[in-house]
Amino acid sequence: MIQFIKNIFQESSKNMRITLYVLIGLVVLFGIFAIQILFWGLGYTDMNNNFTWGAWIIGDLGLVALGGGAFTTGYFLYIFRVDKLRPLISSTVLIGFMCYLFTFVFLLFDLGQPLRCWFGFAYPNWGKGVYPASMLTEVFFCLSIYFCVLIVELIPVVLEHKVLIKNKIVAAIAHYMHLLMWTMAAGGTFLSFFHQGSLGGGMWGVLYARPVWFAPHFFFMAIVAAMAGGTSFMTMMPYIAGKIMKKEVVPMESYQLLTKISGMIFIGYFVFRVYDVYTGVTKFAPMAQRNYFDMWGGYYGVWMLVLEFALIISALFFLNQKKYREQEKFMVIGACSGIFAIVTSKLSVLLHGFSVPNFPWKSFTAYMPTIQEWLITLGCFACMILIYMVFAKWFPLFPHLEHHEAHDEAHH
| 170-183 residue pLDDT tens | 999 988 888 888 88
Whether the CB-CB separation of 200 and 64 falls below 8 Å is answered with: yes
| Residue 114: band (very low, low, confident or very high) from pLDDT cuts 50, 70, 90 | confident
Q: Is the pLDDT of residue 211 over 90?
A: no
Query: Any idea what DSSP says for residue 85?
Result: G
319-350 core/surface letters (b: 16 or more CB in 10 A; e: else): bbeeebbeeeebbbbbbbbbbbbbbbbbbbbb
In a domain, 395, yes or no: no
Please report, for residues 62, 65, 102, 233, 302, the alpha-carbon distance to residue 59 in angstroms, rounded to integers and kept in the order given.
5, 10, 9, 14, 22
- Asked if 219 contacts 288 with a C-beta cutoff of 8 angstroms, the reply is no
| Rounded Cα gap, residues 223 and 181, in angstroms | 22
Q: What is the pLDDT of residue 312?
A: 97
**Does residue 407 have a pLDDT over 70?**
no
Has residue 284 got a pLDDT over 90? Answer: yes
Residue 226: CA count within 13 A, CB half-sphere: 32
Residue 89, in any domain of the structure: yes
pLDDT of amino acid 112: 66
398 lies in a domain? no
Contact 197, 59 (CB under 8 A): no
How many beta carbons lie within 10 A of that of residue 131, not counting itself?
A: 9
Structurally, how many domains does the chain consist of?
1
Instruction: Please name which of 204, 110, 191, 209 lies closest in space to residue 150, comparing C-alpha atoms.
Output: 191
Which of 19-28, 138-147, 212-221, 324-333 is predicted with the least confidence, judged by mean pLDDT?
138-147
Judged against a pLDDT cut of 70, whether residue 412 lies above it is answered with no
Q: In the chain, count of helices (H) and strands (E)?
A: 18, 0
What torsion do the CA atoms of 173, 174, 179, 180 make, to the nearest 10 degrees?
70
Question: Residue range 73-98: average pLDDT?
Answer: 92
Question: In sequence order, what are the beta bridge partners of 297?
Answer: 300
Question: In the chain, what percentage of residues exceed pLDDT 90?
Answer: 45
- The whole-number pLDDT of residue 251 equals 93
The domain containing residue 317 runs over which residues? 46-369
Work out the percent of the chain whose per-residue pLDDT is above 70: 95
pLDDT tier at 400 (50, 70, 90 boundaries)?
confident
At 256 the pLDDT is: 95
Sign of the torsion formed by the C-alpha atoms of 224, 270, 92 and 55 = negative
Q: How far apart are CA 412 and CA 92, in angstroms?
A: 32
Listed in sequence order, the residues at least 6 apart from 344 whose beta carbon sits closer than 8 Å to its beta carbon are 304, 307, 308, 311
191 band by pLDDT with thresholds 50, 70 and 90: confident
Q: What is the CATH number of the domain that holds 314?
A: 1.20.1630.10
Using CA atoms, how far apart are residues 161 and 141, in angstroms rounded to an integer? 32
User: 137, 13, 92, 385: which is closest to 261 by C-alpha?
Assistant: 92
Across residues 390-409, what is the average pLDDT? 75
In a domain, 10, yes or no: no
- Mean pLDDT across the chain: 88
Q: What is the DSSP string of 224-269?
A: HHHHHHHHHHHHHHHHHHHHHHTS--S-HHHHHHHHHHHHHHHHHH
Which 3 state secondary structure label does DSSP give 300? strand
What's the pLDDT band for 406 if we cut at 50, 70, 90?
low
What are residue 302's phi and psi, to 5 degrees? -65, -15
Q: Is the pLDDT score of 410 beyond 70? A: no
pLDDT score at 209: 84
CA distance 53 to 103: 14
pLDDT above 80 (res 231): yes
Q: Is residue 238 part of a domain?
A: yes
Which of 108-112, 191-195, 306-310, 405-409 shows the lowest per-residue confidence on average (mean pLDDT)? 405-409
Question: Which of the 8 DSSP states describes residue 364?
Answer: P
| Whether pLDDT at 408 is above 60 | no
Question: For the residues 369-392, what does the mean pLDDT come to?
Answer: 93
Q: If we measure between CA atoms, which residue out of 103, 193, 187 comes closest to residue 153?
A: 187
Number of Cα atoms under 13 Å in the Cβ half of residue 179 = 6
Of the given ranges (80-89, 283-292, 315-324, 399-408), which has the lowest mean pLDDT?
399-408
What Cα–Cα distance (Å) separates residue 301 from each residue in 238, 286, 365, 369? 35, 19, 12, 18
**pLDDT at residue 132 greater than cutoff 70:** no
Whether the pLDDT of residue 411 is over 60: the answer is no
Give the Cα separation of 264 and 18 in Å (integer). 39
Residue 32 included in any domain = no
Which pLDDT belongs to residue 201? 81
279 pLDDT above the threshold of 90: yes
Task: Tell me the mean pLDDT in the region 40-49.
Answer: 85
pLDDT at 360: 79
Say how far apart CA 252 and CA 327 lie, in whole Å: 10
Distance CA 191, CA 195 (A): 7
Task: Please check whether residue 55 is in contact with residue 369, taking contact to mean a CB–CB distance below 8 angstroms.
Answer: yes
In a domain, 303, yes or no: yes
Which of 19-28, 96-105, 127-136, 224-233 is the least confident region?
127-136
Domain membership of residue 15 (yes or no) is no
